[in-house]
Amino acid sequence: MTNECSVAWAAGIFDGEGCVSIGYVRPSKRRDIVNPSYRLTVKVTMGCEETVCCFGTVVEQGTFQNHVRESREATKKVNASYSWVAMSRKAEQILKLLRPYLITKAREADVALKFMALPDGRTGGRGGSKPVDPVLLAERHRLYLECCRLKPRWRFRKNKPSEAPEPPRC
């Protein structure tokens, strides 16, 4: 088990360099996908590979399997950057671990955890070919928009996501 001090340190790194996002993909007629697809992602990106690796070790509670990737190569003008990423259930687990210590990302983490608490719908999926209850789709989209609005750059975006959820295709 990871000690409390290490988890608090990781939460500080995440508050400063982390990102909580809920991705959205429209349904695809070509592949018979009738529901929009949503996916929770948490990510830490920074220039120090050692720190990103240490973050991964702490949040994955010692089972770190080098999920750190170089996200941008160094050039003459820009340093390299390294990213650690977790998605879906793993992202949820990590947010639950860090949440008691988060400050800057606390509201985003709360929205993400509400999103993950919605019925998983493995029979209907977060995307997929079986129709999902329109109320559930509307709630997923509402939480997606709420997560977007919490981003500092939201007010400057030209192409903001649609306010209204798409009607489900049955």
Q: What is the mean pLDDT of the chain?
A: 77
Q: What is the pLDDT of residue 31?
A: 61
Q: What is the pLDDT of residue 8?
A: 93
* pLDDT tens, position by position, 118-150: 886 443 345 556 677 788 888 888 998 898 888
Full domain range(s) for residue 56: 4-156
Q: What is the pLDDT of residue 14?
A: 94
Which residue blocks in the chain are alpha helix, DSSP H? Answer: 4-17, 49-59, 88-98, 106-117, 134-149
| 166 occurs within a structural domain | no
Q: Which of 26, 30, 62 is nearest to 141 (CA)?
A: 26
- The length of the chain in residues reads 170
Q: Which of 167, 99, 95, 109 is nearest to 133 (CA)?
A: 167
| 83 occurs within a structural domain | yes
| 163 occurs within a structural domain | no
Rounded CA-CA distance 14/22 in Å is 16
Q: What is the pLDDT of residue 84?
A: 86
Decide if 38 contacts 22 (C-beta within 8 A). yes
| 20 occurs within a structural domain | yes
Q: From residue 59, how far is each of 83, 97, 146, 154 by CA, in Å? A: 14, 7, 25, 28
| 167 occurs within a structural domain | no
| 170 occurs within a structural domain | no
- Selected residue with higher pLDDT from 1 and 75: 75
How many domains, in total, are found in the chain?
A: 1
The CATH number covering residue 22 comes to 3.10.28.10
Rounded CA-CA distance 28/77 in Å is 40
| 168 occurs within a structural domain | no
In the chain, how long is the greatest CA-to-CA distance?
Answer: 53
| 162 occurs within a structural domain | no
Q: What is the pLDDT of residue 58?
A: 87
* pLDDT tens, position by position, 37-80: 788 999 998 888 888 888 888 888 655 555 665 555 656 666 77
